[in-house]
Amino acid sequence: MRIVLVGPPGAGKGTQAAFLAKNLSIPHISTGDLFRANISQGTDLGKQARAFMDAGRLVPDEVTIAMAKDRMAQSDAENGFLLDGFPRNVGQAVALDEMLLGEGVKLDAVLDLEVPEDEVVKRIAGRRICRNDSSHVFHVTYNAPKTEGVCDVCGGELYQRDDDTEETVRTRLEVYHTQTEPIIDHYRSQGLVVTISALGKVTEVTDRAMEALKKSD
């Protein structure tokens, strides 16, 4: 399956993507994770992305689209993928449409995670991520690790993302409303959008998402 996951910052895209990608045996491709990996490795790409991310703004399309194309061209994405955080504006959505058209394939669904803004703010404020693997995501109260500050999965150190400050979250939400939400209409016109509530337990949201994806197949 070829799926795009969309939703505001902190909606639980990364958390759900880890389970959905496993259930569907497709790679989870997160542009946010790719940028963060480049930053921690000190690459040129990471240096270009850092200031935009710290400010909560989008990294320029030129850089982002090239990185996403490169990742998707890797063989494990051939039979499907779960895109998390890409596309994030209409320009990127059009670039993805062209990319897929060129390969003679189509998206199967755009899964839209709906969460009220006050919940998103609480989720982001308590989020902790593993230094070894950014798919190991915790929350200080909703999904607390057994030992404070230590990843349950691999024992790595948990940290708070640089862009998870109150001010940056406000900017990220504004960017989401003005630049990312219009892609939902773009995909609605292609009949691809499936909206689900992302409230409730992580497992409940995964079940809801799997059910909705089955119906859209």
Residues near Zn ion (CB under 5 A) are 130, 132-133, 136, 151, 153-154, 156
CA distance 164 to 121: 9
User: Which segment (56-64, 72-80, 95-103, 182-190) binds ligand AP5 by CB under 6 A?
Assistant: 56-64
Provide the token pair at 136: 């190991």
**Residue 52 touches which of Zn ion, ligand AP5, none (CB < 5 to 8 A by kind)?**
ligand AP5
Query: Does the protein bind ligand AP5 through residue 19 (CB under 6 A)?
Result: no
Q: Is the dihedral of CA 196, 16, 33, 1 positive or negative?
A: negative
CB 88, min distance to ligand AP5, A: 4
How many angstroms separate the Cα of 43 from the Cα of each of 50, 62, 75, 87, 211? Answer: 11, 17, 23, 22, 40
User: Mask of contacts with ligand AP5, 75-94, x by CB under 6 A?
Assistant: ----------xx-x---x--
Catalytic residues: 13, 88, 127, 161, 172
Please report the beta strands in the chain, taking only residues with DSSP state E, as ranges in sequence order: 2-6, 28-30, 81-84, 109-114, 127-130, 137-139, 158-159, 193-197
> Maximum CA pair distance of the chain?
48
Q: Are 12 and 123 in contact (CB under 8 A)?
A: yes
By beta-carbon proximity to Zn ion, the closer residue of 3 and 158 is 158
**Residue 14 touches which of Zn ion, ligand AP5, none (CB < 5 to 8 A by kind)?**
ligand AP5
Footprint on this chain of ligand AP5 (rule: CB under 6 A): 7, 9-15, 31-32, 35, 52-53, 56-59, 64, 85-86, 88, 92, 123-124, 126-127, 137-139, 142-143, 163, 172, 200-202, 205
